[in-house]
Amino acid sequence: MFAEENGLHGDPRIKAISDAIRVVPHFPKPGIMFQDITTLLLDQKAFKYTVDIFVDRYRDKKISVVAGVEARGFIFGPPIALAIGAKFVPLRKPKKLPGEVISESYVLEYGTDCLEMHVGAVQPGESVLIVDDLVATGGTLSAAIRLLERVGAEVIECACVIGLPQVKGNWRLNGVPLYVLVEPRLTDLECSL
């Protein structure tokens, strides 16, 4: 669900967040309008609003784990984890995590990729929130959900700053609800950088 449709209609913070995100055309390849959150991170107020909205939503949900998807999930996940008193668990590309890991592969447009999590980081029965900057096809988040469910955790929700239109009608991934703050913009009327 989008934040606007879920209690935050008219909240000026949502517009501030959306306006702070830069659109970079044809990155990483022609035809893709890349939603660049780095400009959001340069806007202290808008970055804080982003974290605050997620924290307000999740602080009373007894979530014990925030799992963040490498690498931009590492930017949004830890501030949320710290504020709600949860562990932060990084979900990483292959061979980055030392020690024992479990892996989950997922399909890309061309080929496959793999997400890894440390064995023992999450216990069976823990309530988990997964965080990433953006959800497009949901492939990465679905792999993240599978990793956590394999160790017996319960994924309460997936939270993303931006949700691409293709997920609008499909608000559950593997049965897990998705919470998104803003839609992508198609273009920048003026470039902020």
Partner 1 sequence: MMNTLKISFAVLKPPTRYLPSSNSVISQKLHSPSSSPSVKPPTISPLGRGKSGGSRVYSTFAARTNFKVNCYSNMAEPNSDLKQGDVTVKDDRIARISSSIRVIPDFPKPGIMFQDITTMLLDPVAFKDTIDLFVERYKEKNISVVAGVEARGFIFGPPIALAIGAKFVPMRKPNKLPGAVISEEYSLEYGTDIMEMHVGAVQAGERTLVIDDLIATGGTLVAAINLLERVGANVVECACVIELPDLKGRDKLGGKPLFVLVN
Q: Encoding tokens for residue 153?
A: 């955790």
Region of 34-42, 138-146, 153-161, 165-173 interacting with partner 1 (CB under 8 A): 34-42
Told to check if 13 binds partner 1 by CB under 8 A, we report: no
Residue in this structure with the two tokens 């003026």, named with its chain if needed: 190
Total site size for partner 1, rule CB under 8 A: 39
Told to check if 28 binds partner 1 by CB under 8 A, we report: yes
Q: Is 4 left (phi over 0), alpha (psi -120 to 50) or beta?
A: alpha
Question: Applying CB under 8 A, which of residues 82, 108, 114, 119 lies at the interface with partner 1?
Answer: 82
Told to check if 79 binds partner 1 by CB under 8 A, we report: yes
Told to check if 91 binds partner 1 by CB under 8 A, we report: no
Question: Applying CB under 8 A, which of residues 99, 111, 124, 165 lies at the interface with partner 1?
Answer: 99
Q: Map the footprint of partner 1 across residues 108-147, applying CB under 8 A.
A: 118, 121
**Given the residues 57, 72, 104, 157, the one annotated as active site:** 72
Q: Which residues contact 64 (CB under 8 A, 6 or more apart)?
A: 86, 87, 126, 127, 128
Partners of 90 in the β-ladder: 68
| Residue spans of alpha helices (H) in 73-183 | 73-84, 139-150
Told to check if 184 binds partner 1 by CB under 8 A, we report: no
* Residue 72 bears catalytic tag: yes
* Residue 13 bears catalytic tag: no
DSSP 31-47: T-EEEETHHHHT-HHHH
Q: First-to-last CA distance in the chain?
A: 30
Q: What amino acid positions are annotated as catalytic residues?
A: 72, 109
